[in-house]
Amino acid sequence: MDLLAQSVPILLKGMAITIFLGVTSFVLGFWLGGLIALARISRFALLKALAIVYVSVFRGTPLLIQIMLVYFGLPQLGIQLSPVPSAILTFTLYSAAYLSENFRGGILAVEKGQWEAAGSMGMTYSRTLRRVVFPQALRIATPAIGNRFIALMKDTSLASVVTVVELTRVAESVGSSTFRYVEAFVVAGAVYWLINSVLSVGQELLERRMGRAYA
Amino acid sequence: MTSDDVAIHAQGLHKSFGDLEVLKSVDLTVRTGEVVVIMGPSGAGKTTLLRCLNLLEEPDAGSITVRGRTVNCAGPRHSRNRRRLIRDIRVRTAMVFQQFNLFPHMTALQNVIEGPIHVRRLPRPYAIEVGERLLARVGLTDKRDEHPARLSGGQKQRVAIARALAMEPEVILFDEPTSALDPELRAEVLQAIKNLAAHGMTMVIVTHEIAFAREVADRVVFMDKGYILEEQSPSVFFSNPANTRIRSFLRLMSDSGPHPELEEAS
Ligand SMILES: Nc1ncnc2c1ncn2[C@@H]1O[C@H](COP(=O)(O)OP(=O)(O)OP(=O)(O)O)[C@@H](O)[C@H]1O
Ligand SMILES: [Mg+2]
């Protein structure tokens, strides 16, 4: 137990990196996903096609391959990224694909009458999106977006394969240096679970608040 | 009639959805201050005509002039100038929808000031002042900060009327403003519209409410199968209609109230 107790600081550090990876990629992916959703519903065929291909590629290939491709492949093209930025880049691109579909679903679920009410008073397309459609779409998509966040938190464990010293990698090294694999991975798993429990509660509160907002 | 007296002039409007020809050469002129009621059986094209007047629907052919600004529907579709012209006409022709279409994430007042602030670019404090005055005008001062979810249907529609007024439009277009309401809530909305008429507001109203139409209309337009069959003063239209289609339509209406499925059978 002593050996494991000694590992607490490094486990905490791993947890911090995991949270950093998850939150940063989620925030960046949120905005990128928004832009992709806009392209997807745009009336410009080229933008629309690009968005469709983007989503299809990033959803249709394993995240692990994307991670390795970015980390090991980009240097071949002369782009050298250290492990953490390269992982964040991949997670951002990957979650943007999913989030864009959540946004699109939310936008499509907004009643046609809302577009018409805004349009009939001479509101421009972009202003209608910002003032009328997005606020409602976001509310509709909140549960799906929350689930995405939680899934992403777990997906960050794949960053361990490109030497990012996040929770999973820490657990692995603690396990191999102490030969207490069971404890190391159970603790790491418990920490993921804890982080996501906090996120779930946050999601719950947010959904409840959004439910009240219209009344 | 000088052009100053004309609020809307629509000429030769055609509109098809796929193979279905819904408007077949419709001409309509609405003078400033005039209240035009449009009646007709279900599927006649009444809603489509209103939506075309606001350019929410673009006619396939014809032209629409509002206050000297003309959109010609044969012209090129997607130029920047054309979009601006269309928006300009939409600002001047406010719509009141059967389903209200209030913005659910905004309060009553926010609904009313949305257009003034974000379309007409009025300063916020001024827009709020005007918005409060308009809510008072439809009797909803105390609902200022309620979201639509907390309002009755009649109250929602009155907010929608205030929202339309806030655009200071040339004309307000109403599409069956009381059809989605329980009978006991209709009177308050009809009263609000009558008040606007008394103040000289130009309006085009699609409605099945015969008593209301009789009282408020300067002219009744009867549509059937994509055509305007008849334009009459309400006294002639309701008491002594020339057309047999109108006679049977009115008979059905007074027998059974608005019953779209029956009307079509006539
Ligand atoms: N967007 C659309 N796409 C296809 N068909 C449409 C569309 N809008 C209307 N129509 C059809 O056009 C015809 C006329 O519709 P419209 O809504 O203008 O009739 P209306 O006179 O308002 O009828 P009601 O009294 O039932 O409201 C109908 O047959 C309708 O099904
Ligand atoms: Mg209709």
CA A92, A94, A100, A103 dihedral sign is negative
A147, A160 Cβ separation under 8 angstroms: no
Prediction pTM value? 0.88
Lowest-pLDDT choice from A26-30, B38-42, B48-52, B77-81: B77-81
User: CA A118 to CA A131: how far, in whole Å?
Assistant: 9
Helix pair angle (A134-155, A83-109), 10° resolution = 150
Evaluate if residue B264 carries a pLDDT over 60: no
The pLDDT value recorded for residue B67 is: 85
Evaluate if residue A214 carries a pLDDT over 80: no
Lowest-pLDDT choice from A67-81, A140-154, B234-248: B234-248
Instruction: For residue A177, give both structure tokens.
Output: 């240096």
pLDDT per residue as tens digits for the range A108-153 = 999 999 999 999 999 999 999 999 999 999 999 999 999 999 999 9
Evaluate if residue B232 carries a pLDDT over 80: yes
User: CA A184 to CA A180: how far, in whole Å?
Assistant: 6
Evaluate if residue A32 carries a pLDDT over 90: yes
3-state DSSP of B70-105: EEECCCCCCCHHHHHHHHHHHHHEEEECCCCCCCCC
Domains and CATH numbers, chain A: 2-214 (1.10.3720.10)
Report ipTM for this prediction: 0.90
Chain B residue nearest residue A137, CA to CA = B105
Which of B15, B16, B26, B47 best tests ligand 1's pocket when mutated (most atoms within 8 Å of CB)? B47
Q: Cβ contacts of residue B127 below 8 Å, gap of 6+? A: B113, B116, B117, B166
User: CA B34 to CA B212: how far, in whole Å?
Assistant: 15
Chain A residue nearest residue B151, CA to CA = A215
pLDDT > 90 fraction of chain B, expressed in percent and rounded? 77
User: CA B76 to CA A10: how far, in whole Å?
Assistant: 67
Neighbours of B183 (CB within 10 A): 8
- Residue B69 identity (one-letter amino acid): R
Check pocket membership of B44 for ligand 1, CB cut-off 6 A.
Answer: yes
User: How many Å lie between the alpha carbon of A142 and the closest alpha carbon of chain B?
Assistant: 15
Q: Please give the average per-residue pLDDT across A17-31, as a whole number.
A: 97
Closest atom of ligand 1 relative to the B45 alpha carbon: 18
Q: Pick from B58, B64, B61: which is nearest to B74 by CA?
A: B61
Q: Which residues of B touch A136 (CB under 8 A)?
A: 104-105
Partner residues linked to B37 by β-bridges: B205, B220
The pLDDT value recorded for residue B266 is: 38
Q: Pick from A155, A185, A156, A190: which is nearest to A171 by CA?
A: A185
A174, A7 Cβ separation under 8 angstroms: yes
The pLDDT value recorded for residue B261 is: 44
Q: Find the ligand nearest to B51 CA.
A: 1
User: CA A106 to CA A133: how far, in whole Å?
Assistant: 9
Helix (H) or strand (E) holding A192: helix A181-213
Which band of pLDDT confidence, cut at 50, 70 and 90, is reported for residue A211?
confident
CB contact under 8 A, B104 and A113: no
The pLDDT value recorded for residue B254 is: 75
pLDDT per residue as tens digits for the range B42-70 = 999 999 999 999 999 999 999 999 988 89
3-state secondary structure of A56: helix
User: How many alpha carbons lie under 13 Å from residue B129 in its C-beta half-sphere?
Assistant: 5
Check pocket membership of B22 for ligand 1, CB cut-off 6 A.
Answer: yes
Partner residues linked to B124 by β-bridges: none
Evaluate if residue B256 carries a pLDDT over 70: no
Chain B interface, Cβ < 8 Å to A:
54, 56, 87-91, 93-95, 97, 99, 101-105, 114-115, 118-119, 147-150, 163, 167
The pLDDT value recorded for residue B263 is: 42
The pLDDT value recorded for residue B112 is: 97
Which of B16, B17, B175 best tests ligand 1's pocket when mutated (most atoms within 8 Å of CB)? B17
Mode of pairing for the β-strands spanning B20-31 and B6-17: antiparallel
Evaluate if residue B74 carries a pLDDT over 80: no
pLDDT per residue as tens digits for the range B143-173 = 999 999 999 999 999 999 999 999 999 999 9
Evaluate if residue B265 carries a pLDDT over 70: no
Q: Please give the average per-residue pLDDT across B122-147, as a whole number.
A: 96
Domains and CATH numbers, chain B: 3-98+171-180+187-265 (3.40.50.300)
User: CA B38 to CA B213: how far, in whole Å?
Assistant: 9
